[in-house]
Amino acid sequence: MGRTLCMLVLVPLVAAAAPQELLENNGFESGLLDPWTTSAWTVSTDSPHSGTYCAFVEGNNWIKQEFTPTGVTEIVSITLWYRQPEAQIFAFDLYYGPTEYDEELVYVAGTDWIQYDFTYFLRPSGDLQAVRVWGYYGGGPDPDHCFLDDVSVIFDDAVSLEQSTFGGIKALLGS
């Protein structure tokens, strides 16, 4: 009689999902600010970092975008491009609740477009639900102009076998 050998091979299962952008209109290419909210920022065509548009403000005003709360462990990167002709300072806020945020003060390193990475400012746990960027006021003799472009919050919600339960794997397989 022949015997049938049944072998079960376990391989890490990963939900098929590529990293995704959480922000909408993150390069302001719609020519409008929506869905960003702001205290005074506008859309500008004055030397954007990429595309046709960027956001612009004169003075210490903010621009903010809220999104679906996302676990900080799923966030891959948080970056933006910022330009200040006077090379002063600006602030960047990471929101973990409607009024709960951490603020980082940034000293601008030059007068041209510079990419800033805020990923390492994330808390070790919790849900991120908004980002806010500030202009500045009173840094020098010229107008306090600030330009913002290509703001990005990338997340990857792929779940590895180590992070899954048997029930989750079973549901993934449809059994």
Phi-psi bin for 144: left (phi > 0), alpha (psi -120 to 50), beta? beta
Q: How many CA atoms lie within 13 A of 130 on its CB side?
A: 21
Confidence of residue 166 (pLDDT cuts 50, 70, 90): very low
Domains contained in the chain, CATH given = 20-158 (2.60.120.260)
- Mean pLDDT of all residues in 148-175: 65
With 0-12 CB in 10 A as exposed, 13-18 as middle and 19+ as buried, what is 70? middle
User: Does residue 74 sit in helix, strand or coil?
Assistant: helix
For 32, which DSSP code?
Answer: S
Written as one string, the DSSP assignment of 122-136 is: S-SSSEEEEEEEE--
Q: What is the pLDDT of residues 47-89, one digit of tens each?
A: 999 999 999 999 999 999 999 999 999 999 999 999 999 999 9
Instruction: For 103-159, write each residue's pLDDT tens digit.
Output: 999 999 999 999 999 999 999 999 999 999 999 998 778 899 999 999 999 999 874
What does pTM read for this prediction?
0.81
Band (2; pLDDT cuts 50, 70, 90): low
